[in-house]
């Protein structure tokens, strides 16, 4: 079955345009409630959100839709996506729901779901929901309606969980950190996690107004963090995105470390502790230099499709614990069931504290290949897979690169974009090849001259 609404990370779009409208979100919650009630008489769902102004509207619609299907609702308020995943499991809830468009700007929003175990749900579950959306609503009678309540200490419970993933015999005392919460869901939580573990914390991106999430701050705009780290004379800067499930890290020199490098560091720390991973899962976008570093360390490395849900599926299939993406979605399944920017940061910092070395030193053997990524907007209905000019340009680039690079072309799961990535030892060569390939897509999308 082809999914109409669900993308690689839930349902996402521009607020006020289908499907991110209050009437559809009410119908969605009602359909999800009916699916839940096939296996449970009285389900309970948790609903958390980031700081977008549209969150109020969508939260109300979700609450009404679930209640109309006879499902109880617990409102968490603003809370990181991984915090909702944790509390869903800890509270023995039937489902966790997050209202967020992650790293997107405030005009967008989305809905994503977690299972009772705090994990992403399967394609089959999403297909069952989409099928239920096509059925007429089945309103329960008044006596069977769901109820709603608020969990007032949700943030505090999640803070304690994050701290529990950091070793009891270690402390962050002596470290000066800048924490950038992207004016997003972690604005209350993130500074407290590091402060309560002993760090000297300066915060930026902690003044949400409903309209400024991810605006010039956070993991997608690390320039603000780099500047703040230098101005404060901090040891490290930690950047989260709007829903705090991804991490970027900056050191005192202003060097930015992406998810590929941090994934390798997390694995290397386990190796140093005598807990060598059997294998690690990256994605099609993972830098080739990291793959080579894992090979040198004797750790098997495999690539999944882009998207943390696919990394998680591959980890589950193989029984492995570590995986992630260059964007900063990192998974340590012995610490949490899903990607968590705060937990990932604590994994990196424990390696720093335990070893007495800086992140750059711990990554001394990993020199990333230059990558050029160009996003090309696709015209409606554009068949990029059947474009012979694109196929020829790709083959030409692959022949030119040989074993010293690679080409990856894929459609975005959340936007009408084609992502063209070229990786090579030589940055200029990578850029030239990527631009040639992107130009063939742009030419095909351009309207014909009259």
Among residues 64, 94, 100, 102, the one annotated as catalytic is 102
Closest-CA residue to 441 (of 414, 402, 403, 412): 412
Closest CA to 239 of 220, 253, 255: 220
Strands 72-78, 44-49: pairing kind? parallel
* Residue whose structure tokens are 């930690």: 238
Which residues contact residue 205 at a Cβ distance below 8 angstroms, ignoring those fewer than 6 apart? 180, 181, 182, 183, 184, 187, 217, 218, 224
Q: ∠103-109-112 over CA atoms, to 5°?
A: 85
Residues 406/288, Cβ–Cβ less than 8 Å: yes
Please state, in angstroms and rounded to a whole number, the distance separating the CA atoms of residues 105 and 50.
12
Backbone dihedral angles phi then psi of residue 9, each to the nearest 5 degrees: -145, 65
Beta pairing, strands 371-377 & 405-411: unpaired
355 in catalytic set: no
- From CA 243, how far away is CA 241, in angstroms rounded? 6
Active site residue ranges: 102
């Amino acid at each position: 079955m082809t999914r109409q609404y669900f993308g690689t990370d839930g349902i996402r779009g521009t607020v006020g345009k289908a499907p991110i409208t209050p009437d559809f979100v009410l119908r969605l919650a009602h359909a999800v409630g009916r699916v839940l009630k096939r296996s449970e008489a009285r389900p309970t769902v948790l609903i958390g959100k980031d700081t977008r102004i549209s969150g109020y509207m969508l939260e109300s619609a979700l609450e009404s839709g679930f209640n109309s299907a006879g499902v109880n609702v617990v409102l968490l308020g603003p809370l990181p996506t991984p915090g909702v995943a944790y509390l869903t499991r800890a509270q023995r809830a039937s489902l966790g729901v997050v209202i967020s468009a992650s790293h997107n700007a405030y005009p967008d929003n989305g809905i994503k779901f977690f299972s009772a175990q705090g994990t992403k749900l399967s394609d089959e579950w999403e297909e069952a929901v989409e099928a239920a959306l096509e059925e007429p609503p089945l309103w329960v009678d008044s006596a069977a309606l769901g109820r709603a309540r608020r969990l007032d200490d949700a943030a505090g419970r999640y803070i304690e969980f994050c701290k529990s993933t950091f070793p009891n015999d270690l402390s962050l005392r002596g470290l000066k950190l800048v924490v950038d919460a992207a004016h997003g869901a972690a604005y209350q939580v993130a500074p407290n996690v590091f402060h309560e573990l002993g760090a000297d914390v300066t915060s930026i991106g902690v003044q949400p107004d409903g309209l400024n999430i991810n605006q010039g701050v956070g993991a997608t705009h690390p320039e603000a963090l780099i500047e703040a780290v230098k101005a404060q004379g901090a040891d490290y800067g930690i950047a989260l995105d709007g829903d705090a499930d991804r991490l970027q890290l900056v050191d005192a020199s202003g060097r930015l470390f992406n998810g590929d490098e941090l994934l390798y560091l997390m694995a290397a720390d386990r190796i140093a502790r005598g807990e060598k991973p059997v294998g690690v899962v990256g994605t099609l976008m993972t830098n080739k230099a990291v793959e080579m570093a894992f090979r040198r360390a004797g750790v098997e490395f495999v690539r999944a499709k882009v998207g943390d849900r696919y990394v998680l599926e591959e980890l589950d299939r193989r029984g492995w614990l570590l995986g992630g993406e260059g964007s900063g979605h990192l998974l340590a399944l012995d610490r949490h069931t899903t990607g968590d920017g705060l937990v990932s940061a604590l994994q990196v910092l424990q390696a720093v504290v335990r070893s007495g070395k800086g992140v750059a030193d711990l990554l001394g053997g990993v020199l990333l290949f230059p990558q050029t990524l160009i996003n090309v907007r696709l015209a409606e209905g554009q068949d990029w897979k059947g474009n012979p000019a694109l196929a020829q340009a790709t083959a030409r680039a692959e022949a030119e690169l040989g074993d010293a690079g690679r080409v990856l072309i894929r459609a975005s799961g959340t936007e009408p974009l084609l992502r063209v990535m070229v990786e090579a030892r030589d940055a200029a060569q990578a850029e030239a090849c990527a631009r040639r390939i992107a130009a063939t897509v742009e030419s095909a999308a351009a309207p014909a001259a009259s």
